[in-house]
């Protein structure tokens, strides 16, 4: 179990160093536990590169199984404790959305409602996520009245998507460009060789962005499931990222730049509440606060 805990952290962060910081262990201890696990399963779980590690196919398979098992254990422990909750409102959101959009709003909410204890749950994008298990959730989705959860939606926050990359990558590929680059440049050298960082191959946002041009992209896709890791990969110059206004910090501080013209609309975030759940004044207070905050923005 120790090795699996270490593996899950290293695989999720794609970094032995960040796993060491997260678990308060030395980097040597992380490497030792990973090596023990690889010997046990008789397979390489990581492909090592300079200052970076990547999951092998075996590593990806084990990560999914490990995270699923950990979630099930968490549910079991919760059931052992009975129905007594140490929190008033359970909010489901990815760590990316929680830290960039929800956290500052809940901080101001807590000043107004100090007696309401809010807890986050981060498996909102997992295959077994059930909206009925939480009080409120915030998920990335299709907006403008689309999607299966429309009846549960309290609020939609459309956020157009756009490509971004590191300034270093831009200077290397387009050193003399001081104007927005046309989207169709991605079909031509040198941009058609740049890896496109994505979360899921099943939904190709890059091809949707360029749908009006009716031409297939040949760029290699690099799947990075965790949004925080994907942003860091873009900052490190690993490729182009398709993201939204939640990249505000990186864009304002010059860590990333949005060099292309054109955006992809129709996507954003939805604030969801389980259908048919009895009204809870504390849950309602938080939902009202988040709705008013978003409308003010």
Per domain, the residue ranges of the chain are 2-80, 89-159+268-296, 162-264
- Topology match between the domains 89-159+268-296 and 162-264: yes
The pLDDT of residue 148: 47
Predicted local confidence at residue 163, as pLDDT: 96
Query: Cα separation of 70 and 67, whole Å?
Result: 5
- Answer yes or no: are the C-beta atoms of 201 and 221 closer than 8 Å: yes
CATH number 3.40.630.30 given to 89-159+268-296: no
Residue 181, strand partner residues: 260
Backbone angles phi, psi at 35, to 5 degrees: -65, -40
Contact of 203 with 127, CB cutoff 8 Å: no
Q: Where are the alpha helices (DSSP H) in the chain?
A: 2-13, 16-23, 27-41, 57-80, 95-97, 103-112, 167-173, 205-209, 227-235, 248-252, 281-296
Fold of domain 162-264: D-Maltodextrin-Binding Protein; domain 2 (3.40.190)
Can you give the pLDDT of all 297 residues of the chain as single tens digits? 889 999 998 998 888 888 888 787 888 889 999 999 999 999 999 998 877 789 999 999 999 899 888 888 877 776 666 555 556 888 999 989 998 999 889 999 999 999 888 888 888 877 667 787 888 899 888 886 554 446 678 888 999 999 999 999 999 998 776 789 999 999 999 999 999 999 876 788 999 999 888 888 999 999 988 898 999 999 999 999 999 999 999 999 999 999 999 999 999 998 888 865 656 888 888 988 998 988 887
- Whole-model pTM: value is 0.68
Select from 269, 278, 285 the least CA-distant residue to 92. Answer: 269
Please state which CATH class domain 2-80 belongs to: mainly alpha
Q: Is 190 helix (H, G, I), strand (E, B) or coil?
A: coil
What local confidence, expressed as pLDDT, does residue 131 receive? Answer: 82
- Residue 50's pLDDT is what? 74
What pLDDT is stored for residue 267 in this prediction? 92
């Amino acid at each position: 179990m120790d090795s699996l805990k270490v593996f899950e952290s290293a695989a999720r962060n794609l970094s032995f160093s960040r796993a060491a910081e997260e678990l308060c262990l030395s980097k040597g201890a992380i490497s030792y536990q990973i090596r023990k696990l690889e010997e046990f399963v008789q397979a390489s779980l990581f492909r090592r590169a300079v200052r970076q590690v990547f999951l092998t196919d075996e590593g990806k398979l084990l990560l999914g199984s490990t995270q699923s098992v950990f979630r099930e254990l968490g549910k079991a422990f919760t059931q052992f404790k009975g129905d007594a909750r140490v929190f008033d409102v359970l909010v489901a959101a990815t760590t990316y959305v929680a830290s960039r959009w929800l956290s500052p709003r809940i901080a101001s909410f807590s000043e107004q409602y100090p007696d309401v204890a809010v807890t986050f749950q981060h498996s909102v994008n997992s295959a077994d996520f059930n909206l009925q298990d939480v009080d409120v959730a915030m998920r990335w989705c299709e907006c403008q009245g689309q999607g299966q959860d429309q009846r549960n939606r309290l609020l939609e926050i459309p956020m157009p998507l756009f490509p971004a990359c590191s300034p270093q990558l831009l200077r290397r590929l387009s050193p003399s460009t001081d104007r927005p680059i046309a989207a169709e440049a991605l079909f031509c050298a040198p941009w058609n060789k740049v890896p496109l960082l994505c979360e899921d191959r099943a939904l190709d946002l890059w091809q949707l962005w360029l749908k009006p041009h009716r031409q297939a992209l040949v760029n290699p896709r690099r799947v990075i499931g965790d949004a925080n890791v994907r942003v860091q990969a873009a900052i490190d110059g690993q490729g182009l990222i398709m993201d939204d206004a939640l990249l505000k910090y990186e864009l304002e501080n010059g860590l990333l730049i949005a060099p292309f013209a054109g955006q992809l609309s129709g996507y954003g975030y939805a604030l969801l509440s389980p259908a048919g759940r009895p009204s809870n004044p504390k849950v309602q207070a938080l939902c009202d606060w988040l709705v008013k905050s978003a409308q003010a923005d």
